[in-house]
Structure 1
Amino acid sequence: MLTREQVLEAISPVLGTDQGTGVEETSVRDIVVKDRQVSMTVLTNSGEPDAPLEEALRAALARAGAETVHLRFRPAGGRAAAAGAPGQAPGSSPGAGTAAAGQAAAGAGAVRGHGAGLERTPLLSEASGVHFIAVASGKGGVGKSTVTVNLAVALARKGKRVGLIDADIYGFSVPDMMGIEGRPEVVNERVIPIERFGVKVMSMGFFVEDNSPIVWRGPMLGKMLRNFFEEIEWGELDYVLLDLPPGTGDVALDVHQMIPQSKEIIVTTPHATAAFVAARAGSMAIRTEHEILGIVENMSYYSCSACGNKDYVFGRGGGAKLAESLHADLLAQLPLGAPDNHPAEPDFSPSVYKGDTEMGQLYASIAEQVIAKCEEQSAS
């Protein structure tokens, strides 16, 4: 069994240091070791793939016993801004990293990496007036995608023009949840998103066959996200929701870079551990100057259909505690349940609640709060 410590020891000579975990702080991050599979992000000045360095790292890890190695390259300067760290590497002048982070936060200088030049894209330009809302969670299994899909539909029911990007590229689920079976068409070399329940949808799921797994490295994920903004004919929109992968990995960092004006909604369950982990996603949003619109506590309770009593099967208070720690509003506490939809219905979907149901009304309330917050800021 390969350990994280063995990985650090193996790559230290390649990176020119033997300071143990000091290697991670200055040159690599996001190290994941599972059995003999190793994944990590390599920080370089350019942020571009470095063939000799990659070859040397792979060789060192292979000698340590790694069978599969995934390497992602990111600019070293962007790490501090994204993570909220001081950004001062050993040997650098005091305040240099802080100044760089401040410049990035203020929007000064050119945007590097996958976000470079995207500000000229019509959808992302300031003149578009589009409100971007990323829906995030600290861990999987809390119902983040369900919340994203139903909030998008609720906004559409309020008369808003809504786009939905399934940015959970490894774990895409939006097309299935919305009952979408078709594929996008290409018109004049532009991809036309699928529209369902008044929401324009784009997902990696449209481009794979038979639910095949996505085996990609970090840079390819960023390029796919970039294509979702550049190559898609979105038309005029009021809101774009992004269903982010759980956690604070590469895709979340790319979204923070590509859409600096995005706001966020954090989804958690009432369980204390889920809320604790979700706080990391919220902290990442704050450090990258993404405003948190609010917290949605999902699976808050189970309401007995026979007696009407509420059973708090996952505990209580996690969402409120998270909202307090992030100085954000608790937008809703959603009960456990599933839509009562039948496959014979013409508009069947496994996960979209009808507007006249209790859950549909709860999502309508969230949509109203989101609209009020976004439009109030636009007017000010």
Structure 2
Amino acid sequence: MPEVTREQVLNALAQVKDPELNRNLVELNMVRDLRIDGGRVEVEIALTVRGCPLRYEIKKDVEAKLLSIPGVTEAVVHLGAMTDEERQQLIEKFRQERVPKSRIMAEDSETVILAISSGKGGVGKSTVTANLAAALRARGYKVGVLDADIYGFSIPGMLGIEGRKPVAFNKAIVPIPAHGMQVMSMGFFVEADTPLIWRGPMLMGAVEQFLADVLWDDLDFFLIDLPPGTGDVPLSIMQKLPRAQIVVVTTPQPASVTVAQRTGIMAKKVEHEVLGVIENMSYLVCSRCGERHEIFGSGGGQQLAEKLGTRLLGQLPIQEELREASDAGKPVALYAPESAVAKAFLELADRIAALTLPAERRITAVTP
């Protein structure tokens, strides 16, 4: 049996990252009390906070990396926590390194920004945002999601991260990881059942902080779930992010099309490109006979696209799997890829990538 060395163990642990800080455990000085006894490796990991919600995920990753070392037959991982002094030293280290804040707002950023809008609530805009983001992630792209629906935030629940609290380093906010994506939402800062009674200036301040003071990675796609309508927040985001491309979500119903058109018109008035229209709840396929039922009518999405001088990006069906996945916090594209609605989202992701990315940055779709 090959001898296990300290260097081998540290090299393996350097491959494990803190999911929130996106730095490896060795670099963060989280590896403590390392002991090697033949094929048995015992180590303590000092978490940044004792109640870290991702502690079991970190422990599982550490165990897997240790057991992958030739000669290791047993891995024992203990979880501890940094002292206040150690945590302060870590903050100082980040400060000295001058951790850059997000470049998403930079003019030369290559991140594709998609602002997902709707004329009114109830058309499934947030569901589309969460599942389109997951479909892009399933294809292999680096994805971030900003839940800018300040009053009606629902992205945390749909992605299974409700109740999580972001951490801050060097006066910047670390986004919450979910299904391989980075996520930020007002829902992380207030209780789910607490009404948010804010006026315009406070809203704008929160939105600007989420754009400028969150440590977003260099992403391929950055999706923003806008509040419905044409109020202060959608207008402010459009003005702050002139590169953002607008995606309008509607249902086939005439009433939805009429109000959704106003969102598209507002985008054009502030000189934003309307990338296209997504028609949600387009049809229902009967689980017994397989017949397609257009229960909300038909043609609304195409009609809206023509009125706005853009394209219909896709039509999404009503399917029970989507509701079940959203309730469970598991996007269908990642957890039910064979379902019809997941395939529709994956096709939508492929089309958007083809429209927004240069050929050399596109990832060839692999049918799940």
1:137 aligns to what?
118
Amino acid in structure 2 at the alignment position of 1:229: L
Amino acid in structure 2 at the alignment position of 1:287: K
2:271 aligns to what?
289
CA gap of 1:329–1:158, structure 2 versus 1, over 3 A, is same
**1:276-355 alignment runs, 5 A limit:** 276-339=258-321, 348-349=328-329, 352-353=332-333, 354-355=336-337
Return the alpha-carbon distance in structure 2 between the equivalents of residues 173 and 210 of structure 1.
Answer: 9
Amino acid in structure 2 at the alignment position of 1:126: E
Return the alpha-carbon distance in structure 2 between the equivalents of residues 298 and 144 of structure 1.
Answer: 8
Corresponding residue to 2:224 among 235, 242, 253: 242
Return the alpha-carbon distance in structure 1 between the equivalents of residues 213 and 318 of structure 2.
Answer: 38
Amino acid in structure 2 at the alignment position of 1:323: A
Contact 1:144 1:243 in 2 (8 A): yes
| 1:190 Cα offset (Å) | 2.2
* Higher-Rg member (1/2): 2
2:145 aligns to what?
164
Alpha-carbon displacement from aligned partner over 1:91-121 (angstroms, at most 9, x marks no partner):
xxxxxxxxxxxxxxxxxxxxxxxxxxxxx96
SS at match of 2:223: strand
CA gap of 1:342–1:216, structure 2 versus 1, over 3 A, is closer
Q: Percent identity?
A: 45
Alpha-carbon displacement from aligned partner over 1:213-272 (angstroms, at most 9, x marks no partner):
110001111100000022211122111100001110000110111001100110000001
Contact 2:116 2:248 in 1 (8 A): yes
Return the alpha-carbon distance in structure 2 between the equivalents of residues 355 and 369 of structure 1.
Answer: 17
Contact 1:146 1:351 in 2 (8 A): no
Return the alpha-carbon distance in structure 2 between the equivalents of residues 285 and 190 of structure 1.
Answer: 30
**1:1-380 alignment runs, 5 A limit:** 122-181=103-162, 182-339=164-321, 348-349=328-329, 352-353=332-333, 354-376=336-358
Contact 2:249 2:277 in 1 (8 A): yes
Return the alpha-carbon distance in structure 2 between the equivalents of residues 136 and 210 of structure 1.
Answer: 22
Query: What is the Cα-based RMSD across aligned positions, in Å?
Result: 2.2
| 1:339 Cα offset (Å) | 2.3
SS at match of 2:277: strand
Q: Which moved more, 1:186-195 or 1:156-165?
A: 186-195
CA gap of 1:172–1:127, structure 2 versus 1, over 3 A, is same
Contact 1:341 1:349 in 2 (8 A): no
TM-score by length of 2: 0.66
Return the alpha-carbon distance in structure 1 between the equivalents of residues 211 and 332 of structure 2.
Answer: 25
CA gap of 1:184–1:378, structure 2 versus 1, over 3 A, is same
Amino acid in structure 2 at the alignment position of 1:317: G
CA gap of 1:304–1:254, structure 2 versus 1, over 3 A, is same
SS at match of 1:126: coil
Contact 1:185 1:191 in 2 (8 A): yes
| Structure 2 gap ranges (5+) | 1-100, 362-368
Contact 2:113 2:245 in 1 (8 A): yes
TM-score by length of 1: 0.64
Return the alpha-carbon distance in structure 2 between the equivalents of residues 140 and 126 of structure 1.
Answer: 32
SS at match of 1:128: coil
CA gap of 1:269–1:194, structure 2 versus 1, over 3 A, is same
Amino acid in structure 2 at the alignment position of 1:212: T
| Structure 1 gap ranges (5+) | 1-119
SS at match of 1:248: coil
SS at match of 2:348: helix
